Chain A
Amino acid sequence: MNILLNLKEALQSLNANKLRSLLTILGIVIGVASVIALLSIGESAGDSITGEIESIGTNVIYILSGNDSDDVTNPKDLTLQDAEALANSRRAPEVAYVAPVISGGSEISYGAEGRETSISGVTPDYQFVQNITMAEGDFISEAQVEGRSAVVVLGPEIAQNLLGRSSGIIGSAVRIGGYPFRVIGVTEAKGGSAFNNPDNNVFIPISTAQTRLPHGDSPNAVQFILVSVAQAEDADQAIQQITDVLRSTHRIPPRSPNDFSILNQQDFLAVAASITNVLTIFLGGIGAISLLVGGIGIMNIMLVSVTERTREIGLRKALGARKKDILLQFLTESVLLSMIGGLLGIALGWAIALVVSQIATRSGTPLEITVTANSVLLATLFSAAVGIFFGYYPANRAASLAPVEALRYE
């Protein structure tokens, strides 16, 4: 049997029941669209997180108190003394800059405008570790750290939100936790995601943070220490040096586990990848369920169609149609239904992904959504498979009808 003729005949028969065919196709359209849209959104969210982590740079190492992989009770806080020890170039020669950070939530306000945000107490080296460039003014200086100055460096976005502008605001006074702070600088806009937007950062001298921000019990405790390595390829060596230094300052006996954790970009990427994988599987699963429902719709309609056309099947068999001719005829119809639905679904899913990306961008979390060739291929193959899988039973039922019974069917 000629394939083209088969297709033409299948189209004619679907065309004869327009509304029914459209509704069946709609089921597949929704299924495929949700697979495409949800997978794209999931992948894009993952890319966004990964991009965020990659922007940290491969030469930056995070040091945190505590150790999740070994059973450590009462880990010592990281302290300013630890940071000083790490900055000693004889003890840790591969370490370039050390930036201890005290961070805490507090209210920042300007006039009547106020918001709760995370404030970071930092040293001047923080600027070099994170490669911060200034749009105007200066970053926090050594003198301001020593003098416990009430000065603040703002990200452009929080400046815009708070003061209504992000330039020409040097010297303005904002309040943090009720105390007045003088704005000394605004950082360059970097853009960011929903998860960590550097344009929303608020920096004050670390010494000021010790007294003004709520943090750990010990006055010298810091939340974490950022370290930058001169050469990214020396990171492993640097990590070894940091470990040695901290084990000695924390007086950890040999063969006891570390009471701190050292994380670099690779570690964060690994964590993020496992999170986004779960996210993608979850979203894809939801899409797959709707595709399954669409497939059951096809099966249902094909069963009705087989019953309606029993006499036609009988006639075709009387004229010499073999079992496989009838099987092919009905399979062509169901695959056609699912493929049309699949193609429309790809278009709709793409549109949904674009709309979501627009909404995300408008609401301040730029999400670059790309529909990958992978997900299109997956959706196409999957919808064809749905057509074959759910079309096979009805088609086989049609093909197995006894010609006498089928011809006699009223």
Chain B
Amino acid sequence: MSDRSQLEGLVNQLLDEAKVQGATAAEADVSLVTGLSTTVRLGEVETIEHNRDRGLAVTVYVGQRKGSASTSDFSASAVKEAVSAACGIARYTAEDGYAGLADPELMAYEYADLDLYHPWDLNAEHAIELGQTCEAAARDFDRRITNSEGASVSMHEGVRVYGNSHGFVGSYPTSRHSVSCSVIAQEGEAMQRDYWYSTTRSAEDLEGVESIGSHAAERAVRRLNGRRLATCQSAVVFAAEVASSLLSHLVGAIRGESLYRNASFLVDSLGQRLFPSIVNISEQPHLTKALGSAPFDAEGVLTSSRELVKDGVLQGYVLDSYSARKLGMQTTGNAGGVHNLIIEPGRKDLAEMLKEMDNGLLVTELMGQGVNKVTGDYSRGASGFWVEQGEIQYPVEEFTIAGNLRNMFLGVREIGRDVDLRRNVRTGSILIEEMTIAGA
């Protein structure tokens, strides 16, 4: 790939320029992503977008002072200007004893090919046909599907290069393709919208477009005639497609930045029991073809697999080199985030999870950002289904679910085997003992 060597050259240019302009250390990140996105609505083409996004970012250190700059302009003069802007800032930022690159011995001087690049030779005509087939499957699914927000098909491929003044330069190409469909079901005056999507590294792994369409339609129709709930305490099953948000809240609270700022309800929680013993959570950055895989993190640190939660006990934090130094620890290779966080699946599918719950709430959609990472207080809008004796009774909407994440984590009773593979955080459905539902 000629793009790749060109971008590597640009990283070296940035690092050289930083040295020339007086930086004692520097790191640079350059990326280029190209793609095509089409949307079809009610059988007709709505949009065709040709994407080509590129960017370069450089961080310089002058002693312990730091400055950064970025631009979409790759010209030689822009490279000089970006470095100059970064160095200009570093003249005014304060000496920070913790600032700097990750340690040189942690760099990913050798790394495996994780099979993340599968370009899709997709032209606009083909993308439109796929979208039309997908949307038609949704609209033909049920006579109550009366309207559509359309079906989208997109393909993207790109390359990212990272390098720093330790002499490390790493790069790898990736691809990501998606099909999604969103339709509206109507009965009387009331309308409900829902969607379904598939996203993968390789087009051949995408869910069939007709299956995506009918799945979207089924989800929209089943929400019709939703009732409100009375305010009560109830067990809650988070369906797999929303359960990953609970693990994202965990990650947010054990990120180094939250910890050294004392802005987390999980400060000093290492070695503590956060979940019941059935919960095991690992990070697996090297899964081939996975959406969250990365051979090295945003500081060039070699990533590796690890156990984050074992038998319910927290084994580690999520750190980059800066927060690690602040906490007197070692980076965990998480600059830029986690790479494939996986909660060990249990043995039950969703139907068996509902049987296990017996009476309670199945949540299939969450709304709003009502989660306080500092206190763990949780209060979000939701919709889903009321369950009695293990069977779905009717759709429910316009209520909130609330609790505190510490209690919610300890209250996890069961993890499903219905794992959602479409995210960087992989989990099946999760049954939580008790939460407060506020409704009518």
Answer yes or no: are A and B bound together in one complex.
no
